[in-house]
C-alpha cells in the first residue's frame, strides 16, 4: 500500500479494523474506518459506549496491542505507516509527535510520583535534556496551562490537585514535546461544567498557539460543536456520518445522528416536550446485525436494509463540503425526514413525510429496552 | 395532601463534617461545611431540581432529607412534621414515604442478589405483600412498568446493561408507592441515547403515580427538561431558586450565569469562542470565603460582596437570588449564547 | 509526615507495655509452672518451696510482681533467670540471636532475590507455559511443610547422611566470627529450605500485585508517553506493586526473628527457636516467657517500620 497522503494531511486512517478474540467470540471493536486529519485541524469523534471510538484512538498509538488486539488497515502519519514501523520507532512517536490525554486524570497520573517528575520523564524519554532544564520547562508548562503557583505545585502529588488542575497537568505533560497531534479521549467528561469550559478553551488556545492538530473523542455533541471543525459520528465500530461541524448540525444525514440530536435536552428548545430516545440499545460487537448495523433501531428502515450494508458515501448536498453518511435512504428522503424532525415531529411523522412505506416497525421498539 | 400543598420543607439545614488533627489526641480544628444553611420547600406533585458543581452540597442535602446522614442542625419537615429526630418504627414509617434513586447503576445494586430479590427487598423490610406469590406478582408488575422483561426476575445485575440497571433502581424505589422520590444524578452514568429513555420513564411514572420529585444533577439541560423549579447551590448554600422558565431565560445570580454560559451548546452557530469563562477553582468547603461565597470568582463583585453575605431576595418572576449585583435584563444576551441566538432570529 | 511517625512510635510504646503485661499475665496464670517448684527440683519439700517462693518474690501481690517484672525488663534488660541453664534469660537469648539473625537475613535475601523476579516474569508472560510451570512449582512449595522439606533436603543433599554429599548436614553450624566459610556452608541448605515457601509466596504475591497494577490507567499513560515496556513494568508498575510486599516482608522477617523453630530444629541450629523448643520441653517457663516477649517486640518494631515505609512509598497514606 502506498504511503502517500494528500498534501496538508497529517494523519490518514485507511480501513482500520481492530478485533479482539475472546471466549465468547471475536469482538469487532472497530470495523473498517477511514478518515483524515489535516495539520492543525480539529476533528471530533462522537459516539456512545461500544461505538469503538476509544479503541480506535488507542490503536493509533498502538496501545491496544497488550490486550491482544488484531489490527488491520493503514495508519499514515506524516508519511509513515504506524502499523508497520518498528516498535522502537512507534515509541519514538508516542508522547512526542503524537500525544494523548485521557478521561480520568486522577487515575491516569501515577499516584506515587510527583507531578513535576512525571512531566520531566515525558521530556527525558525523547530528548537529551538535563533534569534541571527539564524541571524548569515543566514549571513553564504548568504556568502555560494556567496552574497557579507552579513552583510549589511541581513537587506535589496528583492527589493534591483538584480535578481541573489535574487535567491541566496532564495537558502540560502531553504538550511537553510539542506534538503535532493531540488525541483527547473524553478529557472533560469527569469534570464540572465550568471547569470543562476552561479546559476546552485552554485546548483551543494551545492548539492555535502551537499549530497542533487535535482529535477530540467524546459523547457530548455540545463539546464537538464547540471545538471541532470536522466531526465523525461512530456507531458499532463504524463511522456512520462524517461532515464539517456546521453541515452536521444543520443537515445531518444519518438516522443515528438524528436520534442523538433529538434525544438530548437543550437549553433553549421548548420545555415539556418529550425527548425522543433511540429505542433499543447498541448491538453486541460479537454478533452484529446483518445489513445496515443501525437498522434494528432505525425508524426509517425498509426490509431491504437488513440485507444491504451501506458504505460511507457522499450525500450529494450542495455546498456542504465533504459530507458522507452510511445510509440507504436517498437524499430527498433524508431531507424530508430531518425537516419533519427538526420541526418537532415524531419519527412516525418524519417517516410519512419522507414517503417511506408505513408498515415497517423497528425490531427494537417491540421488545428490547436499553 | 393535595397538589399545591407543601410536601417537604427544609429549614436552615446545616451539615458540618468535623476535621480533626493532632498527634496523640485528636481535636477538632475545623469542619467541612458541606451544607451551610439551606432552606426550600417542595410542593406535592412538583419536581424540584437541584444543580451545582462538585462540593456544592447537593448530594449531601439529599441524604439529609432521607436521613441517610444526620443533620448538624436544622429541620426537615415532611407533611408538616419534623423528621430529623425520629427514631425506630417512626423513622421506618417515614422511609416508606420517601425513596432514593442513586447515580451509579453499577455499584448501587447488590451483585449477589437477583433482580427479583432486590426489588422485593422493600416489601421484605416493611413486612408487606406477604400473601402467597403476592410479592413476586408485585415485583413483576413493577418490572413491567419500568420496561424490564418480568421473566428476568431471577437474573443478576451484571446480566443487565447500565440503563436496565437504572430501571431496576427505579422499580425498587417505586415498590412502596412513596410520595417523594429523590433522584441523585440518575442518568449521569448512562449513554446519551439511554438517558432519554430513563428521563421519559421518570416523567411518565411521576404523572401516573402523582410523585413529587427532587432531581439532582449537574447537567443543566437535563434539569431544565425535567424540573418545574430549580435551586442552584454553591459551596453549601442555595444561591438562586426559580421556576425553570425564569432561571434559564433570566438568571439572576452571577454563578447561575456562569454555569449557563459554560454549557456547551450543540449548535456550532452559537458556539462562541468568547464566552465569559469562570476562572479559578471552587474554594474548599472547609474554608469558604467571607461575605458572598462566590465573590472571589465573580466578575461583578463589589466591596460589599466580601463583607456582607447576601440574603435570598425576590427578583421577580418567582425568582429568588442571593446576590448584591444580580444580572440585569439586558445583560443576558451577552452571557448566554442561546439567548443570543434567539435574538438573532 | 513527622506527626504520623511520632504517632506510630507512641502507639508502639503503648503496645509494648500491653504486650509485656499480657505475657506476664499468661505466665502468671498458667498452672503448674510455679517457678519455686521448678527451682526446688524433684525433692522439694513444702518448706523449701515456701522459702524459694519468698526469695523469688512470689508472695507479693500481683501488681507488685508485675511492676518488678516490667521494671526489670525496661531498666535493667533483665528478662528473668533460667534455673535449668543457670543463666540469665536475657543472656541466653542474646547468645542465640546471631544464629537466628543469620538464618533469617539469608533466607529473606534469597526469597526476595528469587521470588520477586519470578513473580515479575510470571506476570509478564501470563498464561504461558512458563507462568503455569512457575506458579505450579510455587504451589508445591507453599503446600510443603518446612520440616518435611528440610528432612528431604538433608536426606538428598547432606554430606553425612544424604544421597549426594553436597552440603553440610544438620548440626554443622558455627558462628560467623568463628569460621566464616563453614558458617556460610552450613547455612546454605537451611536458607534454601526456609526460603522455599516464602519464595513461592512472594512470587505469587508479586505476580498478582503486578497484574493488578498493569491494568491501571497510569500504566497506559506511561506507554502513551513512549516509555519502553521494560521501564513501564519496572519503574511504573513495580513502584505500585511493591507496596503490599513491603508490609508482608516486614512482618515475615519479624516473625522469623522470633525463631524459625522448625528449621532450627531440623538443622540443629542454635537459634532462639531451638532455645524455645528446648525450654518448653523441660518446662523452663522463664525462658519461654523471655522468647515470647522478644518475639513480640520484634513484631511491634517491624509493624512500626512497615507503616512508616508504607507512608514513604505511598504519599496518599500520609495525610491522616
Q: Which chain C residues have any C-beta within 8 angstroms of a chain B C-beta? A: 3, 6-7, 10
CA dihedral C177, C179, C184, C186 (to 10 degrees): -120
C79 and C122 in a single domain? The answer is no
Output the pLDDT for position A366.
41
A26 and A163 in a single domain? The answer is yes
Q: Bridge-partner residues for A325, per DSSP?
A: A241, A313
How many H helices and E strands in chain A?
A: 14, 12
Q: How close, in Å, is residue C58 to chain B by CA atoms? A: 37
Lowest mean pLDDT among A132-146, A329-343, C42-56, C286-300: C42-56
A193 and A82 in a single domain? The answer is yes
Lowest mean pLDDT among A92-106, B167-181, C48-62: C48-62
Could you say which DSSP state residue B185 is in? S
pLDDT in tens, C162-216: 788 888 878 888 888 888 888 888 888 889 888 988 899 999 999 999 999 998 9
Cβ-based contacts of B264 with chain A (< 8 Å): 196-197, 200, 220, 222-223, 225-226
Q: Is the pLDDT of residue A110 over 90?
A: yes
The CA-atom distances, in angstroms, between B281 and each of A11, A146, B34, B53, B256 are: 36, 11, 16, 11, 16
Task: Examine residue C246 and state whether it is found in any structural domain, yes or no.
Answer: yes
Handedness of CA A355, A357, A363, A365 (dihedral sign): positive
Phi, psi at B233, each rounded to 5° = -110, 145
Lowest mean pLDDT among A116-130, B231-245, C177-191: C177-191
Task: Examine residue A86 and state whether it is found in any structural domain, yes or no.
Answer: yes
- The CATH number of whichever domain residue A26 belongs to comes to 3.40.50.300
The CA-atom distances, in angstroms, between A44 and each of A177, A229, A313, B155, C275 are: 23, 8, 19, 38, 74
A263 and A334 in a single domain? The answer is yes
Contacts of C149 (CB under 8 A, 6+ apart): C141, C193, C196, C197
Output the pLDDT for position A368.
47
**Residue of C1, C218, C228, C232 for testing the chain A interface, max A β-carbons within 10 Å:** C218
* CA atoms of A358 and A352, how far apart (whole Å): 7
* CA atoms of C115 and A164, how far apart (whole Å): 41
A317 and A173 in a single domain? The answer is no
Question: Do C315 and A159 lie within an 8 Å CB cutoff?
Answer: yes
C147 and C72 in a single domain? The answer is no
Which of C90, C106, C132 is at the close of a domain? C90
- The CATH number of whichever domain residue C151 belongs to comes to 1.10.3720.10
Q: Bridge-partner residues for A16, per DSSP?
A: A33
Percentage with pLDDT > 90 across chain C: 19
* CA atoms of B310 and B147, how far apart (whole Å): 47
The CA-atom distances, in angstroms, between A274 and each of A277, A366, B51 are: 9, 19, 21
SS3 category, B268: coil
Q: Is the pLDDT of residue C319 over 80?
A: no
Task: Examine residue C319 and state whether it is found in any structural domain, yes or no.
Answer: no
Q: Is the pLDDT of residue C57 over 80?
A: no
Instruction: Say which residue the cell 519455686 belongs to.
Output: C36
pLDDT in tens, A17-73: 999 998 889 999 999 999 999 999 999 999 988 899 999 999 999 998 888 889 999
Could you say which DSSP state residue B42 is in? E
Which of C46, C71, C90 is at the close of a domain? C90
Q: How does the average pLDDT of chain B come out, rounded?
A: 88
Top pLDDT among A270 and A101 is at A101
CB C84 within 8 A of CB C284: yes
Cβ-based contacts of A274 with chain B (< 8 Å): 200, 203
Question: Do B24 and C3 lie within an 8 Å CB cutoff?
Answer: no
- Contacts with A, C 226-255, CB within 8 Å: 226-228, 236, 239-240
Lowest mean pLDDT among A157-171, B292-306, B324-338, C181-195: B324-338
C-alpha cell at B300: 461583578
The b/e string for B184-208 (b: 16+ C-beta within 10 A; e otherwise) is bbbbebbbbbbbbbbbbbbbebbee
Output the pLDDT for position A317.
76
Question: Do B24 and C10 lie within an 8 Å CB cutoff?
Answer: yes
Q: Is the pLDDT of residue C49 over 80?
A: no
| CB nearest to A95's CB, from C218, C224, C314 | C224
Percentage with pLDDT > 70 across chain C: 94
A257 and A195 in a single domain? The answer is no
Give me the DSSP letters along C67-83: HHHHHIIIII----EET
Question: Do A91 and C228 lie within an 8 Å CB cutoff?
Answer: yes
Q: What residue numbers bound the domain in which C166 lies?
A: 98-312
Burial of B28 from C-beta contacts in 10 A (0-12 / 13-18 / 19+): exposed
pLDDT in tens, A204-252: 999 999 999 999 999 999 999 989 999 999 999 999 999 999 999 999 9
> Subunits that touch chain B (at least 3 Cβ pairs < 8 angstroms)?
A, C
pLDDT in tens, B34-68: 999 999 999 999 999 999 988 899 999 999 999 99
Q: Strands (DSSP E) along A97-212, which ranges?
A: 98-101, 181-185
Q: Bridge-partner residues for A239, per DSSP?
A: A234
C137 and C227 in a single domain? The answer is yes
Output the pLDDT for position A348.
85
pLDDT in tens, A253-265: 999 999 999 888 8
Task: Examine residue C225 and state whether it is found in any structural domain, yes or no.
Answer: yes
* CA atoms of A253 and A312, how far apart (whole Å): 11
Q: How close, in Å, is residue B53 to chain C by CA atoms? A: 25
Q: What residue numbers bound the domain in which A306 lies?
A: 252-366
**Residue of C2, C3, C8, C14 for testing the chain B interface, max B β-carbons within 10 Å:** C3
**Residue of C1, C2, C7, C11 for testing the chain B interface, max B β-carbons within 10 Å:** C7
- Contacts with C, A 25-64, CB within 8 Å: 58, 61, 63
C-beta neighbour count of B62 within 10 angstroms: 21
How many H helices and E strands in chain B?
A: 11, 12
Q: Confirm or reject contact between C222 and chain A (CB < 8 A).
A: yes
Q: Mean pLDDT across the stretch B259-281?
A: 78
Task: Examine residue C320 and state whether it is found in any structural domain, yes or no.
Answer: no
Output the pLDDT for position C39.
65
> Subunits that touch chain C (at least 3 Cβ pairs < 8 angstroms)?
A, B
Q: Which helix (H) or strand (E) holds A297?
A: none
Question: Do B266 and A195 lie within an 8 Å CB cutoff?
Answer: no
Question: Do A370 and B278 lie within an 8 Å CB cutoff?
Answer: no
CATH topology of domain B6-19+31-116+175-264+272-344: Rossmann fold (3.40.50)
C227 and C295 in a single domain? The answer is yes
C-alpha cell at C199: 519464595
**Residue of B248, B271, B299, B337 for testing the chain A interface, max A β-carbons within 10 Å:** B271
Cβ-based contacts of B200 with chain A (< 8 Å): 274-275, 277
In 3D, which of A185, A152, A140, A180 has the Cα closest to residue A167? Answer: A185
pLDDT in tens, A317-366: 776 678 999 998 888 888 899 988 888 788 888 888 888 775 555 555 44
Task: Examine residue C137 and state whether it is found in any structural domain, yes or no.
Answer: yes
A204 and A263 in a single domain? The answer is no
* CA atoms of B241 and B59, how far apart (whole Å): 17
A210 and A267 in a single domain? The answer is no
Output the pLDDT for position A362.
52
Cβ-based contacts of A100 with chain C (< 8 Å): 224
C-beta neighbour count of B112 within 10 angstroms: 8
C78 and C103 in a single domain? The answer is no
Question: Do A125 and C224 lie within an 8 Å CB cutoff?
Answer: no
Task: Examine residue C199 and state whether it is found in any structural domain, yes or no.
Answer: yes
Q: Confirm or reject contact between C316 and chain A (CB < 8 A).
A: yes
Q: How does the average pLDDT of chain A come out, rounded?
A: 89
Q: Give the count of domains, chain A.
A: 2
| CB nearest to B193's CB, from A201, A220, A277 | A277
The CA-atom distances, in angstroms, between B234 and each of A131, B18, B37, B58, B259 are: 42, 20, 12, 9, 11
C191 and C304 in a single domain? The answer is yes
Task: Examine residue A241 and state whether it is found in any structural domain, yes or no.
Answer: no
Helical axes B162-174 vs B134-145, angle rounded to 10°: 130
Task: Examine residue C41 and state whether it is found in any structural domain, yes or no.
Answer: yes
Cβ-based contacts of B226 with chain A (< 8 Å): 265
pLDDT in tens, C34-44: 666 666 666 66
Question: Do A96 and C226 lie within an 8 Å CB cutoff?
Answer: yes
Output the pLDDT for position A365.
45
* CA atoms of C50 and C37, how far apart (whole Å): 9
Q: Strands (DSSP E) along chain B, which ranges?
A: 6-21, 27-43, 47-51, 73-78, 81-82, 98-101, 180-184, 212-217, 229-234, 237-243, 313-314, 320-321
Contacts of C228 (CB under 8 A, 6+ apart): A91
CB A169 within 8 A of CB A158: yes
In 3D, which of A178, A173, A170, A181 has the Cα closest to residue A103? Answer: A170
Question: Do C217 and A121 lie within an 8 Å CB cutoff?
Answer: no
Cβ-based contacts of A197 with chain B (< 8 Å): 261-262, 264, 275, 277-278
CB C318 within 8 A of CB C68: no
Lowest mean pLDDT among B39-53, B73-87, C52-66, C148-162: C52-66
Q: How close, in Å, is residue A94 to chain C by CA atoms? A: 5
A130 and A70 in a single domain? The answer is yes
* CA atoms of A238 and A310, how far apart (whole Å): 11
Task: Examine residue C276 and state whether it is found in any structural domain, yes or no.
Answer: yes
| CB nearest to B266's CB, from A200, A225, A271 | A225
Could you say which DSSP state residue A369 is in? -
A258: nearest CA in chain B? B193
Edge-to-edge strand ranges of the sheet holding B98-101: B98-101, B180-184, B212-217, B47-51, B229-234, B237-243, B320-321, B313-314
What band does B268 get if pLDDT is binned at 50, 70 and 90? confident
C130 and C72 in a single domain? The answer is no
C319: nearest CA in chain B? B21
Lowest mean pLDDT among A100-104, B191-195, B267-271: B267-271
In 3D, which of B337, B329, B331, B259 has the Cα closest to residue B294? Answer: B259
Amino acid at each position: 500500500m502506498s504511503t502517500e497522503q494528500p498534501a496538508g494531511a497529517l494523519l490518514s486512517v485507511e480501513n482500520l479494523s481492530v478485533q479482539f478474540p475472546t471466549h465468547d467470540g471475536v469482538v469487532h471493536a472497530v470495523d473498517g474506518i477511514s478518515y483524515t486529519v489535516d495539520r492543525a485541524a480539529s476533528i471530533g469523534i462522537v459516539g456512545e459506549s461500544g461505538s469503538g471510538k476509544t479503541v480506535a484512538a488507542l490503536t493509533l498509538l498502538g496501545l491496544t496491542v497488550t490486550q491482544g488486539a488484531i489490527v488491520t488497515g493503514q495508519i499514515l502519519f506524516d508519511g509513515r505507516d504506524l502499523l508497520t514501523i518498528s516498535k522502537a520507532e512507534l515509541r519514538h512517536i508516542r508522547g512526542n509527535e503524537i500525544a494523548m490525554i485521557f478521561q480520568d486524570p486522577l487515575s491516569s497520573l501515577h499516584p506515587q510520583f510527583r507531578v513535576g517528575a512525571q512531566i520531566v520523564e515525558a521530556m527525558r524519554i525523547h530528548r537529551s535534556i538535563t533534569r534541571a532544564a527539564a524541571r524548569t520547562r515543566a514549571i513553564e508548562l504548568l504556568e502555560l496551562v494556567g496552574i497557579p503557583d507552579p513552583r510549589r505545585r511541581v513537587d506535589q502529588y496528583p492527589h493534591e490537585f483538584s480535578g481541573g488542575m489535574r487535567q491541566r497537568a496532564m495537558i502540560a505533560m502531553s504538550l511537553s514535546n510539542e506534538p503535532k497531534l493531540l488525541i483527547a479521549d473524553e478529557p472533560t467528561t469527569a469534570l464540572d461544567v465550568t471547569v470543562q469550559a476552561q479546559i476546552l478553551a485552554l485546548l483551543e488556545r494551545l492548539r492555535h498557539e502551537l499549530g497542533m492538530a487535535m482529535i477530540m473523542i467524546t459523547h457530548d455533541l455540545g463539546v464537538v460543536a464547540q471545538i471541532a471543525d470536522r466531526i465523525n459520528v461512530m456507531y458499532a465500530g463504524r463511522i456512520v456520518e462524517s461532515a464539517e461541524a456546521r453541515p452536521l448540525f444543520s443537515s445531518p444525514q444519518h438516522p443515528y445522528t438524528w436520534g442523538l440530536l433529538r434525544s438530548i435536552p437543550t437549553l433553549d428548545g421548548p420545555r415539556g416536550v418529550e425527548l425522543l430516545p433511540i429505542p433499543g440499545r447498541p448491538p453486541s460487537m460479537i454478533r452484529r446485525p446483518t445489513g445496515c448495523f443501525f437498522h434494528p433501531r432505525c425508524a426509517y428502515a425498509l426490509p431491504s436494509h437488513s440485507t444491504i450494508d451501506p458504505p460511507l458515501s457522499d450525500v450529494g448536498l450542495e455546498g456542504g463540503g465533504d459530507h458522507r453518511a452510511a445510509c440507504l435512504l436517498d437524499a430527498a428522503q433524508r431531507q424530508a425526514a430531518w425537516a419533519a424532525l427538526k420541526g418537532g415531529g415524531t419519527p412516525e411523522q418524519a417517516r410519512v413525510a419522507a414517503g417511506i412505506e408505513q408498515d415497517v416497525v423497528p425490531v427494537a421498539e417491540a421488545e428490547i429496552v436499553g | 395532601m393535595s397538589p399545591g400543598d407543601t410536601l417537604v420543607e427544609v429549614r436552615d439545614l446545616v451539615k458540618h463534617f468535623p476535621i480533626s488533627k493532632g498527634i496523640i489526641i485528636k481535636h477538632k480544628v475545623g469542619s467541612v461545611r458541606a451544607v451551610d444553611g439551606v432552606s426550600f420547600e417542595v410542593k406535592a406533585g412538583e419536581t424540584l431540581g437541584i444543580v451545582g458543581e462538585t462540593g456544592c452540597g447537593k448530594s449531601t442535602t439529599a441524604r439529609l432529607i432521607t436521613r441517610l446522614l444526620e443533620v448538624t442542625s436544622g429541620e426537615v419537615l415532611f407533611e408538616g412534621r419534623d423528621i430529623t429526630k425520629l427514631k425506630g418504627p417512626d423513622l421506618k414509617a417515614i422511609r416508606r414515604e420517601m425513596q432514593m434513586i442513586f447515580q451509579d447503576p453499577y455499584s448501587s445494586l447488590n451483585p449477589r442478589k437477583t433482580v427479583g430479590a432486590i426489588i422485593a427487598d422493600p416489601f421484605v423490610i416493611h413486612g408487606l405483600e406477604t400473601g402467597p406469590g403476592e410479592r413476586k406478582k408485585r415485583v413483576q408488575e413493577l418490572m413491567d412498568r419500568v420496561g424490564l422483561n418480568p421473566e428476568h426476575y431471577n437474573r443478576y445485575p451484571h446480566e443487565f446493561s447500565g440503563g436496565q440497571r437504572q430501571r431496576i433502581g427505579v422499580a425498587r424505589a417505586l415498590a412502596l408507592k412513596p410520595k417523594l422520590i429523590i433522584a441523585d444524578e440518575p442518568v449521569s452514568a448512562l449513554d446519551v441515547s439511554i438517558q432519554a429513555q430513563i428521563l421519559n420513564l421518570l416523567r411518565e411514572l411521576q404523572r401516573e403515580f402523582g410523585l413529587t420529585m427532587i432531581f439532582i444533577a449537574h447537567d443543566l439541560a437535563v434539569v431544565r427538561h425535567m424540573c418545574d423549579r430549580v435551586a442552584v447551590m454553591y459551596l453549601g448554600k442555595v444561591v438562586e431558586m426559580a421556576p425553570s422558565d425564569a432561571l434559564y431565560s433570566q438568571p439572576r445570580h452571577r454563578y447561575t450565569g456562569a454555569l449557563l454560559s459554560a454549557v456547551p451548546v450543540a449548535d456550532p452557530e452559537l458556539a462562541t469562542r468568547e464566552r465569559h469563562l469562570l476562572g479559578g477553582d471552587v474554594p474548599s468547603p472547609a474554608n469558604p470565603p467571607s461575605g458572598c461565597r462566590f465573590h472571589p470568582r465573580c466578575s461583578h463583585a463589589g466591596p460589599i460582596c466580601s463583607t456582607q453575605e447576601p440574603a435570598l431576595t425576590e427578583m421577580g418572576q418567582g425568582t429568588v437570588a442571593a446576590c448584591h449585583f444580580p444580572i440585569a435584563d439586558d445583560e443576558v444576551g451577552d452571557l448566554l449564547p442561546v439567548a443570543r441566538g434567539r435574538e438573532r432570529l | 509526615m513527622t506527626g504520623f511517625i511520632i504517632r506510630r512510635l507512641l502507639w508502639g510504646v503503648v503496645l509494648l507495655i500491653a504486650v509485656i503485661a499480657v505475657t506476664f499475665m499468661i505466665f502468671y496464670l498458667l498452672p503448674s509452672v510455679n517457678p519455686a517448684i521448678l527451682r526446688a527440683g524433684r525433692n522439694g519439700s513444702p518448706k523449701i518451696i515456701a522459702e524459694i517462693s519468698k526469695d523469688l518474690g512470689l508472695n507479693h501481690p500481683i501488681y507488685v510482681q508485675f511492676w518488678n517484672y516490667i521494671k526489670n525488663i525496661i531498666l535493667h534488660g533483665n528478662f528473668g533467670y533460667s534455673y535449668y541453664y543457670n543463666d540469665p534469660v536475657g543472656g541466653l537469648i542474646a547468645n542465640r540471636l546471631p544464629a537466628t539473625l543469620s538464618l533469617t537475613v539469608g533466607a529473606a535475601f534469597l526469597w526476595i532475590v528469587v521470588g520477586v523476579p519470578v513473580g515479575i516474569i510470571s506476570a509478564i508472560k501470563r498464561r504461558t507455559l512458563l507462568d503455569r510451570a512457575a506458579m505450579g512449582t510455587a504451589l508445591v512449595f507453599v503446600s510443603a511443610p518446612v520440616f518435611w522439606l528440610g528432612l528431604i533436603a538433608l536426606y538428598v543433599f547432606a554430606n553425612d547422611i544424604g544421597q549426594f554429599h553436597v552440603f553440610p548436614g544438620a548440626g554443622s553450624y558455627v558462628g560467623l566470627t568463628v569460621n566464616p566459610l563453614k558458617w556460610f556452608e552450613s547455612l546454605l541448605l537451611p536458607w534454601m529450605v526456609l526460603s522455599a515457601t516464602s519464595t513461592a509466596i512472594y512470587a505469587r504475591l508479586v505476580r498478582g500485585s503486578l497484574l493488578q497494577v498493569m491494568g491501571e490507567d497510569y500504566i497506559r499513560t506511561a506507554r502513551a508517553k513512549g516509555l519502553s515496556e521494560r521501564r513501564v513494568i519496572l519503574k511504573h508498575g513495580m513502584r505500585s506493586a511493591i507496596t503490599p510486599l513491603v508490609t508482608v516482608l516486614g512482618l515475615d522477617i519479624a516473625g522469623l526473628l522470633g525463631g524459625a523453630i522448625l528449621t532450627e530444629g531440623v538443622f540443629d541450629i542454635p537459634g532462639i527457636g531451638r532455645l524455645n523448643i528446648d525450654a518448653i520441653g523441660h518446662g523452663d517457663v522463664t525462658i519461654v516467657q523471655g522468647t515470647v516477649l522478644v518475639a513480640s517486640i520484634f513484631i511491634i518494631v517491624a509493624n512500626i517500620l512497615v507503616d512508616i515505609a508504607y507512608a514513604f512509598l505511598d504519599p496518599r497514606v500520609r495525610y491522616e
